[in-house]
A = this chain, B = another copy of it.
């Protein structure tokens, strides 16, 4: 640390990087969060108003880039390269053009790097809103009602992206500067491949800890599942319409095939006792029939049907092993329920990811426990989630302790998605305290 360059400021609360924060320092930081919270809500609303569906993230990323640049972060923005990604075993399969799919990273560098480094990660992409008539109002107007902010992506995870930025702001506005390098990542592709975070890692962004404020009910994710996305195309030889009652029908046959895959799902769920952190979940392995399409004509017996599925894997089951089990189950199907010969061929369409466990006892978790206690006045709880998280990128491929931890939400991926603003406020405070203790802080010079 070069004290000349620090312009006379000393470590906050008399501490050094990694030291626990004083009560006064915590209060200054949490007050700063509160002071800016209306701005934070407006920023979440602005983000929600950009429908950053897959491959359409550009305008939302523009907003993130501008917000980072205004904060003096060093900007790096690049398009994901599917060819480069494809060489990585953790990459998801890509069925869309990546021309317009970009990551934005804003880097904060202390004048002298004396503290621990940190990645504050969040994803900009949102899942499709589904039929808008099933929403109480537009998924994009970001209304605040009874303390909840509504809209597609509000919880998953534009509130988290805002929390990362406003946590940093709070430290500055409380009069401090972090002592560690911080990369604020706004990545694409979290909802389909995980290739955004992976691309950032492959570009060289690493740190000693990662925070990802996904909507996790104010809790820390202890373990999560891996996920494989795949499409099953069922084909056969349709009989004449006259014998349709017992003949091959690709749409019926697709349902039969899904039933066979559900037998695999049942088998995996029956093994949950063998998987630490998953023993107590009712149904840790979910096979989701997410999309279906089949047939070309109302009066023709359909010759084909395609089903898009998402299947979970326990941590410790590699994507390759999961994929082998799925394809073996499909290969064993040679006839439909009526005995007509069929083919059920699978292709990978996205996620090809193993789950992860956040091992207990890390320094990062201890720091978050203290931050959470101060922000919420309650102990940090951890839990296991049966969904995909980009955390696996940092855990599996860079061995970085990764804290997926974020606000209370409702109906992510559903209708009327919303996020609890009081929870967002506290999470922002908790992240700010985490940054301060993890990276260490020093008093900022006047006007710096």
Question: Which A residues are within 8 Å of any B CB, using their own CB?
Answer: 127-128, 130-131, 134, 191-192, 227, 229, 235, 237-245, 249, 251-252, 255, 282-283, 286, 288-305, 308-310, 349-351, 385-388, 411-415
Contacts and interface: CB of A to CB of B under 8 A. Distances in A.
A229 B302 contact: no
A302 B310 CA distance: 12
A300 B282 CA distance: 19
Determine how many copies of this chain the complex contains: 2
B296 A293 contact: no
A205 to B, nearest CB: 25
A294 B291 contact: yes
Contact of A387 (B239, B241, B309, B413): B241
15 contacts: A134-B304, A229-B298, A238-B413, A241-B288, A242-B385, A242-B387, A245-B286, A288-B298, A288-B299, A290-B295, A292-B293, A293-B293, A298-B349, A299-B310, A299-B413
A238 B414 contact: yes
A348 to B, nearest CB: 11
A351 B298 CA distance: 10
B288 A305 contact: no
Given A241-B413, A290-B297, 8 more contacts: A127-B299, A130-B300, A192-B298, A229-B298, A242-B286, A244-B288, A293-B294, A297-B413
Given A297-B413, A415-B237, A302 B286 contact: no
Contacts of A241: 286, 288, 386-387, 413
A238 B350 CA distance: 22
Contact of A303 (B131, B239, B243): B131
A91 B238 CA distance: 29
Contacts of A414: 237-240, 300-301, 303
A292 B302 CA distance: 9
A416 B350 CA distance: 34
B296 A130 contact: yes
A282 B292 CA distance: 31
A304 B127 contact: no
Contacts of A386: 241-242
B296 A300 contact: no
Nearest to A254: B292
A283 to B, nearest CB: 5
A447 to B, nearest CB: 47
A289 B413 contact: no
